[in-house]
Amino acid sequence: MAIQKTEAFVLRARPLRTSSLLVTFFSRDFGKLKGLAKGVRKEGIVRPSTFEPFTLLEIVFYEKVHSEIHLISEAAVLESYGGLRKNLSTLATAYYLAELTDELTELQDPHRSIFELLQTLFQLLPSLPPSLLARFFEVRLLSEIGLLPPMDHCLICGRANSPDKVYFSPRQGTVLCERCRQRSRDSKPLGRKGVEAIRLFMHGEFRKVVQYPMSEETGKEISEVVEKFLADRLARPLKTRRFLKGVEALRQNANSLKENKL
């Protein structure tokens, strides 16, 4: 068994037997990993914060050739991102980013850009609009792993798409023009602002993303398209996405009440 060392984010952890944890990580050098951390639990005692979600660790593990579960021998906390836990919207978004990463990535398929994306967003979530960063992460992650098609041309006829509107087929995972959308009954329109935002989120510099004035309407439009797209590709709905939608609805209602009082 080879001994490996890498930085890794904890995506989730669950108890295994009486004293161990089965931990899913996303690492800088190996992509998603599963590891067994032995002797870190005692009956009746909450597990140590070392393996809390979003925690950035430096881990040493014995890489097993014939098993997808490796043995964690050392784990040192590099950053706990405590600011993520001080606000419900921020916390819900962080859990969603972690679960989405877990569901969409393959074991030991390295994507350093995804690791760096998680690192950036966990750092900035407490100070930036969570809804903007959630939509950005969804689009950039899907693009990075090759599931999101280019937006500039119709994937059926090859014609350049209108800058004002395209049609997206969640089931086929394709972008269609006005003429070809009839071939896909599930195609949904994306207006100018939605197309503009998705193009920026796919390829734009991060400094431009955080300055983008995304309206609630545009965010909702992108969210609905992504939700339908994920529903056709994942075995089950994401619990954290449902929770996040509820939190976002509460925030919007609270904002509406404030505006009405003014």
Q: In CATH, what number does 2-80 get?
A: 2.40.50.140
> Which whole number is the average pLDDT over 105-109?
96
Q: What's the CA gap between 103 and 95, in Å, rounded?
A: 12
Q: Has residue 1 got a pLDDT over 50?
A: yes
The predicted pLDDT at position 259 comes to 60
Q: Residues of the chain with pLDDT > 70: what percent?
A: 93
Rounded to whole angstroms, how far apart are CA atoms 93 and 100?
10
Question: How much is the average pLDDT of 61-90?
Answer: 93
pLDDT digits (tens, 9 = 90+) for 208-229: 999 999 999 999 999 999 999 9
Amino acid 226: pLDDT: 92
pLDDT higher than threshold 50 for residue 46:
no
- The whole-number average pLDDT for the span 156-184 is 86
In tens, the pLDDT along 122-168 reads 999 999 999 999 999 999 999 999 998 888 888 889 888 877 788 99
Class of domain 90-261: mainly alpha
With bands split at pLDDT 50, 70 and 90, how would you rate the model's confidence at 105?
very high
Determine contact, residues 132/124, Cβ cutoff 8 Å: no
In this prediction the pTM is 0.91
Determine the average pLDDT of the residues in 103-125: 97
What H or E segment, with its residue span, contains residue 228? helix 216-231
Q: Is the per-residue pLDDT at 18 higher than 90? A: no
Domain ranges in the chain are 2-80, 90-261
Residue 121: which H helix or E strand, with range? helix 112-124
